[in-house]
Amino acid sequence: MSIKLLVLVFSLLIIFTRPKLIADHHLTTRISPIYPSISTFQPSIPPFLPPSPSRRAQSPTVKPSLPFVPALFVFGDSSVDSGTNNFLGTLARADRLPYGRDFDTHQPTGRFCNGRIPVDYLGLPFVPSYLGQTGTVEDMFQGVNYASAGAGIILSSGSELGQRVSFAMQVEQFVDTFQQMILSIGEKASERLVSNSVFYISIGVNDYIHFYIRNISNVQNLYTPWNFNQFLASNMRQELKTLYNVKVRRMVVMGLPPIGCAPYYMWKYRSQNGECAEEVNSMIMESNFVMRYTVDKLNRELPGASIIYCDVFQSAMDILRNHQHYGFNETTDACCGLGRYKGWLPCISPEMACSDASGHLWWDQFHPTDAVNAILADNVWNGRHVDMCYPTNLETMLHS
């Protein structure tokens, strides 16, 4: 009981005594605006910073400058949150060390990782979180990150953690951003900017972690896993169509990872020798199948849309099975946490973390290390290790 009380005290400290934030607009970009009406805008950011120092992060695929991609807009959960939850009353926060210790600045930014998240490795702009941006609408011309840890496709997913911004609310925030752009640079220029930008969407896992698996509102008696997946896909479809209706054309939809292999679920399901929780992974694979079909159907229905689906499960399992090939030596224990597989208690202090995360697949209970994120990003970009994106990869989509 005393340990649980200690965790609660630490959690409250995290919420109410956070350190000074590292604003994303102090980071980097590789892309210049391409429209005459905004070509004079020069963001005050330093030159490109090198990747974080993990072994695999030192040599990701070199991505050329892409002048035809003016901006990156990110939607999702903790897999891509770059600081939104720093400004919310929630237990789901990563604004304290050891989070961010291997990031370019070696300081926490709100990313749920020891270093970079996948979107940081794509060769597209580092963009500020929607709640963290401090400038004018012009500062959003190179993109915004709306992702919020704990968020899901279902509005109430993650509610036990505190405040979060659901996927539907994130889409509403973008629509508001788009309207601000129209007022600033006009409708035509705004539509050109948006239609040529990349929209990266990584969400859905919390609808399992914090809703279905926990049987919130007796959902398991109302929906079979298959029907629940159909429900999620239907909601995702509606939000993607909302984005399409405000001129979004280039979208990357990320599938769900094998969370049954995450330290928390190996601890929870009492894995004896590091076996994944297959019951959980089976639901995830089924969900990914339905979501891929949904994306394929939208590509046929929406004229001019270019939506790719990337199977994170496939890529992550390749890393897990061939971990020695990739240079990993620890596939079950998280770098930071407490208990068996470091999956019982979350990462809440530097003393709980290992000294070197580069050999670990998992950073904490649920999130991979930046070394894994670098590999995933390479696969999204051009299938460097595994062809995980359908009908094509991001590089091919952008050049088509």
The type of residue at 178 is F
Question: Locate tokens 């597989």: which residue?
Answer: 341
Distance CA 275, CA 295 (A): 31
Distance CA 305, CA 221 (A): 37
Instruction: Work out whether the CA dihedral 103, 108, 113, 119 comes out positive or negative.
Output: negative
Distance CA 337, CA 22 (A): 24
Q: Is 257 helix (H, G, I), strand (E, B) or coil?
A: coil
CB 261 within 8 A of CB 205: no
Cα 38 from chain centroid (whole Å): 29
Question: Locate tokens 């948006």: which residue?
Answer: 194
Closest of 300, 279, 314 to residue 387, by C-alpha: 314
Distance CA 134, CA 65 (A): 26
The type of residue at 32 is S
Active site residues: 78, 364, 367
**What separation, in Å, do the N-terminal and C-terminal C-alpha atoms of the chain show?**
58
The type of residue at 230 is Q
CB 29 within 8 A of CB 125: yes
